Amino acid sequence: MTEKSPFLVSAKWLADHLNHADVVVVDARLPPVGMTPKPDPKALYLAGHTQERLNF
């Protein structure tokens, strides 16, 4: 079953709307369950985020 979410968008939509004041991009990456050694999500965010993006 496929459901649409207003919170998940396509890369094209994001590229078209990225500079809109009401668009917020959140980095919510997590390592796969059981991955060892476990990477630090905050360190990954700091190393690779784009300006003005939030870390969840």
Which residue range is the domain that position 46 belongs to? 11-55
Could you give the number of structural domains in the chain? 1
d(C-alpha 20, C-alpha 16), whole Å: 9
Q: Is residue 5 part of a domain?
A: no
**pTM for the model:** 0.51
In a domain, 6, yes or no: no
Determine the pLDDT at residue 1.
Answer: 45
Within-domain flag for 2: no
pLDDT digits (tens, 9 = 90+) for 1-56: 457 787 888 889 988 998 898 888 877 777 778 877 777 877 777 776 666 666 66
**In Å, how far are 19, 31, 32, 40, 50 from 37, measured between CA atoms?**
37, 10, 11, 9, 25
- Under 8 Å between Cβ of 39 and 48: no
Per-residue confidence (pLDDT) for residue 14, from 0 to 100:
86
Residue 44 forms part of a structural domain: yes
Kindly state the tokens that stand for 29. 């990456």
Domain assignment of residue 4, yes or no = no
Confirm whether 50 is domain-assigned.
yes
